[in-house]
Amino acid sequence: MIKMEKGSTRGYSVKEMIKMINSGKEFAKTNFHKPTPQTDVNEAEEDEASYDLLEKPPVKQEDVDTSSEKEESLSSDEEDDTSKDPEKFGRYMNIPAIVDEMKNFVREEENYCRSLEDLVENYIGFIETDEFDIYDVFGCINIISTYQNNTFLPALKGSRNVSKIADCFIMHKKLFNMYYDNYFKSKPNMMIVLKENKDVFRASFSEDTYKEYEDILFKSVNDRIQAYHDFLESTKAILAKNMDVSNFDRALEIIGNLTKYFSKKHENTRFIVSELVQTERIYVERLEKIVKEMLPIIEKLMKRKSKMDLVLGSVPEIYSEQQNFYDKLKKCLFDFDPNEVAECFLQHRNGFALYVKDQQMKKNLDTIEECREMLQGRGKSFDFHAPLNRLYKYKLLLHELKKSCEKGGLPFDKVTEALDMVTNVITTMNGVAAINSIKDENIDLDNQGVLLLRDEFVIQNEYLKCDAMIFLFEKSIVITQAKTEGSKKNRRDAFIYLNHIIIKYLALNVSQDSPTNFQIGFHGKYTRMTHTLQAKDTHTKAIWIKAVEDILMSQFQEEKKRNTYYLQES
């Protein structure tokens, strides 16, 4: 359950916003004609009463009062030369198009305001909870609704010419600042709180009603902000050839700061970031269940702590780290900045190192299988691969995020860096898991250094020819054969140990006859124990040849230093 500090509005305080509303009312009274009361007048009368667009022509920019006190206010009392030229006046006003668009725009605004009022009074107002300040969670939508209904809508309806519409947005910039500072910043928390409190929110409503209010909260607001932008753009286009439209540019700049959060261009990027955060919440909940519910059960079943560690690995530590990671990711839901998301991953490097440690601790697969069967006997289940599966999800989402950034023209350097980091962690974990799967080994694998490479080859020697999995460590090459084992429901790959070659005794022979073959064996009298390895392609062969040659050269340099030291000492 997410608890929020009461009284916080993440932007303007409640007192400040109420003051804005009151000042907005006074401004509307003195600067706009009062809206015509709703009566049963016909459409023609309504046009004359509410949409008197031609009473005064628009003003030029040089007539604007630019004093510090009234910078946002544009005078409509000065007439320009257009009124003296009826033909020009009619041409630039494009009367039918503007009147129709104006009528529709104001009518849609009335519907939107009613929806907000209904949302506040009949939905949010009915939700009862002591866990958090409900209006704070919902971005102070109640304050926004009051301002929209009592101040902004009357100002729109009282506009006497089309130029005043743009001025409306400029003079009521505070309303859109409230959307920015309160509603949009709260939106991620709205989504999370709604998901976590479905029972509370649905207690008094049918499924259809709940869906309707959710649409108003998440979709209608976005649609309306976009409608503001579209209306200003289209009206500006009609007037631009014959008058100064700089006030429309200023109004569009105000609205543009909001529309970027749901623009079509970056829609896929927002979707990926949202999916990442939402699936992270589910993952953290799953880890919490493992730690709080499954850990006591596993502790009783395994009896000894050493056995319990083999099963649980680092899951308790991972859970603690992932909670912090999730808290940071949630903040990215507001700006939807891909590089900010990537930075969260890069700052979490130490947390991802725990995933490798987790895999290293889970050495005994038989113990894990034993625990799984005991849990199933009690009707319980435990996803032992949850951490590794989550890493694969990170890799997929970061890859999609990078593609989306490329397509949308956004920078993605940090995203690439985060993707490479997660990919390296997965590669390391898979290597550790493969090492843990080697059976009947005649070598201490823990003391062979870092696993550098592993690949499938066709191996042939004096005694056999078969498919093999070859592991290249810093100190040895281990040859194994793949085998599937486990129950029908829980099949897993294992590797049966066949042989190994210590690097300091290794002989490498690169065959020129075949593009994919090379030979490894022993120095000196053991030359009969040579293995011919056939790689799946020339690229794999080249990687292995270079890696083995690098190790041999490194060993040669170390041996040379050692001999030089002994000579100096003697």
Q: Which of 262, 290, 316 is the last residue of a domain?
A: 262
User: Are 244 and 369 within one domain?
Assistant: no
- Joined together, the tokens standing for residue 246 give 């700089």
The CA-based dihedral angle spanning residues 111, 113, 117, 123, taken in that order and rounded to the nearest 10 degrees: 60
Question: Which CATH number covers residue 512?
Answer: 2.30.29.30
208-214: list long-range contacts, CB under 8 Å, 24+ apart.
Answer: 213/119, 213/123
Does a structural domain hold residue 452? yes
Same domain, 253 and 234: yes
Question: What pLDDT does 89 receive?
Answer: 37
272 and 255: one domain?
no
Domain assignment of residue 478, given as a range? 439-569
Below-70 pLDDT ranges, the chain: 1-97, 125-137, 160, 185-205, 260-267, 301-313, 334-336, 362-368, 376, 379, 381-384, 485-492, 524-528, 565-570
Closest listed residue to residue 200, CA positions, set 481, 418, 2, 398: 2
Answer whether 238's CB lies under 8 Å from 231's CB.
no
Q: Give, in degrees to the nearest 5, the angle at Cα 482 between 479 and 487.
A: 145
User: Which pLDDT tens digit goes with each residue over 15-48?
Assistant: 554 555 455 444 444 444 444 334 343 433 333 3
Q: How many helices (H) and strands (E) does the chain have?
A: 24, 8
The answer to whether position 75 is within a domain reads no
CA–CA separation, 125 and 532 (whole Å)? 77
Look at residue 226 in the predicted model and tell me its pLDDT.
Answer: 87
497/416 same-domain check: no
Domain end residue (candidates: 436, 459, 484)? 436
DSSP state of 57: P
- Token pair listed for 388: 């590794």
Let me know if residue 68 belongs to a domain.
no
Task: Round to whole Å and give the CA distance between 352 and 284.
Answer: 14
278 assigned to some structural domain: yes
Same domain, 382 and 244: no
Is the same domain home to 232 and 292? no
Does some domain include residue 102?
Answer: yes
pLDDT at 91: 42
**How many domains would you assign to the chain?**
3
* pLDDT value at residue 490: 57
What share of the chain in percent tops pLDDT 90?
20
59 and 93 together in one domain = yes
The reply to whether 477 and 446 lie within a common domain is yes
Q: Among the three residues 415, 436, 457, which one is the final residue of a domain in this structure?
A: 436
Has residue 7 been placed in a domain? no
- The H or E element spanning position 298 is helix 295-302
- In a shared domain, residues 289 and 400: yes
Long-range contacts of 489-496 (CB under 8 A, 24+ apart): 490/369, 490/372, 492/365, 492/437, 493/434, 493/437, 494/365, 494/437, 494/438, 494/439, 495/434, 495/437, 495/438, 495/439, 495/469, 496/438, 496/439, 496/440
At 79 the pLDDT is: 41
Q: Does residue 15 lie in a domain region?
A: no
Residue 428: give its domain's CATH number: 1.20.900.10
- Cα–Cα distances (Å) from 148 to 109, 174, 255, 388, 521, in that order, read 9, 11, 15, 49, 82
pLDDT digit string, tens, across residues 261-292: 666 666 678 778 878 888 898 899 888 888 88
pLDDT at 241: 78
Query: How many angstroms separate the CA atoms of 253 and 274, rounded?
Result: 26
**In this structure, are strands 438-439 and 492-502 parallel, antiparallel, or unpaired?**
parallel
pLDDT recorded at residue 80: 42
The rounded distance, in Å, linking the Cα atoms of 564 and 560 is 6
Asked if residue 404 and residue 274 are part of one domain, the reply reads yes
Residues 403 and 506 in one domain: no
Does one domain contain both 94 and 122? yes
pLDDT value of residue 143:
87
Q: Determine, yes or no, domain membership for 73.
A: no
Rounded CA-CA distance 355/423 in Å is: 12
